């Protein structure tokens, strides 16, 4: 079958009954697909002129009769039955995500697991004794023996006759010696710290001896093509043949790409990297290791292992030094991983006398409250609204996403988009802004119901209220975009999705505060972690009741705090001990079983 793909001008030849989404991907046209291709998210919309299989029930639910009559289809649900013409709108394309790399400014005090010991020139020049015992005899602090050498080191000794002629350095980890080098003062010891997120992966290349950040690199998590959230990936890993292998292979390939890019930026060899320290949620942890996450699919959501792990990096196929080690920080629970440990490490909540609150927003929001005396934590199933998913015109934080909204006294809308691109959709921070502003101007009641145009009266604000697909909607943007009119609405269903997300998170915050016996005024600082927390306006978050009524000075965005915590653990053995202590001390509350959860959740649906 021949497919003409507009506006790309490509002609594809594909077999009959081929999956349309896969055919487009093979041609380099990647479509958005937060649900992993099961027809739930409705983001892979295309328009066809026939030639496709009949619409599926998933398409009928997501698109409705009106769009289906116009030829709108979901590419993941459509099979190619005949030659046709397919139009792919820009809003359906996978776009470049703005990845948050920076976090709290920090001074690292190196105490690395990997160390370098410089040995002097041998007293007898010209000696050809290359054995391990001869090397031990040159140690600065003579001992009966050093430690045990690795096979990699012994092979280096056997192969290089120049090692005995000048000063050399020994690189060790604990009692084991990993490598010997002839340029002891020049080549740095390197390590990678990685924040392995569900949506994005960020890697930081550091000098282990000085703690200096040399470079960083980031990628979208390629596992997203199998599902945008952890639940979708758990299902894929446990129910699809080879699903776990596909997910693990995808993330390992991304990690090797990040290592390669970061090394290229710093102009260093990947073989200089002796350690890689990874933080991530429990599902990402298990998928990286190739652990079948079946226990995470059912209550009580028990991880296969909670303790910190140290493994040979080569066992996973990571392209580092042959003796490099992979270190994974400990987990807290099934839906609270080592990324939360990283946030606590970076903010130093566990060492502060004052009470602090840390919130890492996402599909699964994590909340930690406490100080050096006591730490409470909860995981909140907020859903994907904070990341722009399951929103009619929602998208991730990519170029063209509306990330800020303001309504002036006359009801005129002012928008800002990422990278100043023409508006293509709305991301999480823009969604919170929009709802907060509409509520503030009176076009929405406390229950979250958008007013009708008649109820809103006259004026520019009322003129933006309309009906769309049988529900009330507010017109955010109706300008010219890429030579065609593109309108972006906030629908009543979008408001409900945000209410569900914010009430789940707010319930978690309220319950932790009650358990610890504190009120808003007792909390010294509120750390907002992650991309959503970094870009959201605190006034808007409090305006919709997502956050309690904190003072503005209490709230502090901390960026990629999980990544900063990973850096601390990479360069410091002491920080690793602190991470293990945090994991033991944290009191994890299972919100779904808490007697106050249902009431708090229902109360949290209302707007202030």
Q: Across residues 197-215, what is the average pLDDT?
A: 93
Task: Round the CA-based radius of gyration of the chain to a whole number and report it.
Answer: 27
Who has greater pLDDT, 582 or 120? 582
Every domain range in the chain assigned CATH 3.10.20.30: 2-92
Q: Across residues 228-239, what is the average pLDDT?
A: 90
For position 382, what pLDDT does the model report? 80
For position 485, what pLDDT does the model report? 46
Question: Would you say 290 and 244 are in contact if contact means Cβ atoms under 8 Å apart?
Answer: yes
Q: Across residues 394-400, what is the average pLDDT?
A: 82
The predicted-structure confidence for 345-358, as pLDDT tens digits, reads as follows 999 999 999 999 99
Fold of the CATH domain 190-328 = Nucleotidyltransferase; domain 5 (3.30.420)
Following CA atoms 220, 222, 223, 227 in sequence, which dihedral angle do they give, to the nearest 10 degrees? 70
Q: Across residues 95-99, what is the average pLDDT?
A: 62
Least confident residue range of 119-133, 475-489, 557-571: 119-133
Dig out the tokens for 328 from the structure: 């994974």
Least confident residue range of 170-184, 211-225, 572-586, 587-601: 170-184
Question: Would you say 238 and 292 are in contact if contact means Cβ atoms under 8 Å apart?
Answer: yes
Close Cβ partners of 153 (under 8 Å, ≥ 6 residues apart): 177, 178, 179, 180, 323
Every domain range in the chain assigned CATH 3.30.420.480: 190-328
The predicted-structure confidence for 425-455, as pLDDT tens digits, reads as follows 899 999 999 999 999 998 999 999 999 998 8
Asked if pLDDT for residue 100 goes beyond 80, the answer is: no
Least confident residue range of 22-26, 512-516, 561-565: 22-26
CATH number for region 2-92? 3.10.20.30
For position 131, what pLDDT does the model report? 67
Q: How confident is the model at residue 483 (pLDDT cuts 50, 70, 90)?
A: very low
pLDDT, the chain, mean: 88
Q: Return the closest-CA partner of residue 217 out of 157, 188, 260.
A: 260
Rounded to 10 deg, the angle between the 338-347 and 561-571 helix axes is 80
For position 34, what pLDDT does the model report? 64
For position 339, what pLDDT does the model report? 96
CA gap 488, 474 in Å, rounded: 9
Asked if pLDDT for residue 123 goes beyond 70, the answer is: no
Strands 2-6 and 84-87: parallel
For position 365, what pLDDT does the model report? 87
| DSSP state string for 26-95 | HTT-PBP-TTSSSSSS---EEEESS-BPPPPHHHHHHHHHHHHHTTEEETTT-BB-S-EEEE--GGGB--
Q: Across residues 130-157, what is the average pLDDT?
A: 69
Q: How confident is the model at residue 113 (pLDDT cuts 50, 70, 90)?
A: very high
Q: Nearest 5°: phi and psi at 50? A: 75, -170
Q: Return the closest-CA partner of residue 118 out of 192, 191, 187.
A: 187
Q: Is the peptide bond before 300 cis (omega within 30 degrees of 0)?
A: yes
For position 165, what pLDDT does the model report? 60
Close Cβ partners of 41 (under 8 Å, ≥ 6 residues apart): 32, 33, 34, 35, 228, 389, 390
Q: Across residues 111-123, what is the average pLDDT?
A: 79
CA–CA distances in Å: residue 503 to residues 48, 317, 361, 509, 606: 40, 42, 13, 10, 8
Q: Return the closest-CA partner of residue 582 out of 349, 249, 318, 255.
A: 349
Share of residues in the chain with pLDDT > 90 (%): 57
Q: Nearest 5°: phi and psi at 200? A: -135, 160
Asked if pLDDT for residue 188 goes beyond 90, the answer is: no
pTM of the predicted structure, to 2 decimals: 0.81
CB atoms within 10 A of CB 332: 27
For position 184, what pLDDT does the model report? 56
For position 479, what pLDDT does the model report? 59
């Amino acid at each position: 079958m021949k497919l003409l793909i507009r506006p790309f001008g490509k002609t594809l030849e594909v077999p009959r009954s081929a999956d349309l989404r896969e055919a487009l991907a093979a041609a380099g046209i990647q479509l958005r697909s937060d649900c992993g291709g099961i027809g739930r998210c409705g983001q892979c919309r295309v328009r066809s002129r026939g030639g496709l299989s009949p619409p599926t029930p998933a398409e009928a639910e997501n698109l409705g009769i009106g769009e289906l009559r116009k030829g709108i289809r979901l590419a993941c649900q459509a099979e190619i039955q005949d030659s046709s013409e397919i139009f792919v709108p820009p809003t359906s394309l996978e776009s470049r995500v703005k990845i948050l790399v920076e976090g709290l400014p920090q001074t690292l005090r190196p105490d690395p697991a990997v160390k370098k010991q410089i040995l002097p020139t041998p007293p007898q020049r010209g000696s050809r004794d290359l054995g391990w015992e001869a090397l031990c005899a040159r140690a600065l602090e003579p001992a009966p023996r050093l430690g045990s050498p690795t096979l990699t080191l012994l092979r280096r000794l056997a192969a290089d006759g120049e090692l005995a002629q000048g000063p050399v350095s020994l690189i060790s980890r604990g009692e084991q010696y990993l490598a010997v080098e002839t340029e002891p003062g020049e080549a740095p010891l390197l390590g990678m710290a990685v924040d392995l997120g569900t949506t994005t992966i960020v890697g930081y290349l550091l000098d282990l001896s000085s703690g200096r950040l040399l470079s960083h690199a980031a990628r979208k998590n390629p596992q997203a093509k199998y599902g945008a959230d952890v639940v979708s990936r758990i299902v894929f890993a446990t129910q699809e043949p080879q699903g776990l292998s596909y997910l693990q292979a995808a993330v390992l390939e991304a990690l090797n790409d990040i290592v390669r890019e970061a090394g290229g930026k710093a102009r260093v060899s990947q073989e200089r990297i002796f350690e890689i320290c990874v933080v991530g949620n429990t599902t990402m942890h298990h998928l990286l290791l190739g652990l079948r996450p079946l226990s995470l699919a059912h209550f009580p959501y028990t991880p296969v292992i909670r303790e910190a792990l140290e493994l040979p990096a080569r066992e996973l196929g990571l392209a580092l030094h042959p003796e490099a080690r992979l270190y994974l920080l400990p987990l807290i629970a099934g839906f609270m991983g080592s990324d939360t440990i990283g946030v606590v490490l970076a903010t130093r909540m566990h060492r502060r006398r004052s009470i602090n609150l840390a919130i890492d927003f996402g599909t699964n929001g994590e909340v930690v409250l406490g100080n050096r005396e006591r730490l409470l934590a909860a995981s909140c199933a907020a859903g994907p609204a904070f990341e722009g998913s399951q929103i009619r015109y929602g998208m991730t934080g990519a170029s063209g996403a509306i990330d800020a909204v303001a309504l002036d006294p006359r009801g005129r809308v002012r928008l800002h988009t990422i990278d100043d691109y023409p508006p293509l959709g709305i991301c999480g921070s823009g969604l919170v802004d929009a709802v907060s502003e509409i509520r503030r101007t009176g076009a929405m009641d406390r229950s979250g119901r958008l007013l009708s145009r008649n109820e809103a009266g006259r004026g520019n604000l009322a003129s933006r209220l309309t009906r769309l697909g049988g529900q009330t909607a507010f017109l955010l943007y109706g300008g010219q975009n890429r030579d065609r009119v593109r309108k972006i609405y906030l629908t009543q269903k979008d408001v409900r999705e945000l209410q569900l997300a914010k009430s789940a998170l707010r319930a978690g915050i309220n319950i932790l505060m009650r358990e610890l016996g504190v009120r808003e005024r007792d909390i010294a600082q509120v750390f907002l972690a992650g991309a959503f927390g970094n870009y959201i306006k605190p006034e808007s978050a409090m305006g919709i009741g997502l956050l309690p009524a904190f003072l503005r000075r209490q709230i502090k965005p901390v960026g990629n705090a999980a990544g900063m915590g990973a850096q601390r653990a990479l360069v410091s053995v002491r920080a690793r001990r602190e991470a293990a202590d945090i994991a033991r001390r944290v009191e994890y509350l299972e919100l779904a079983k808490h007697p106050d959860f249902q009431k708090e959740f229902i109360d949290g649906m209302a707007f202030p």
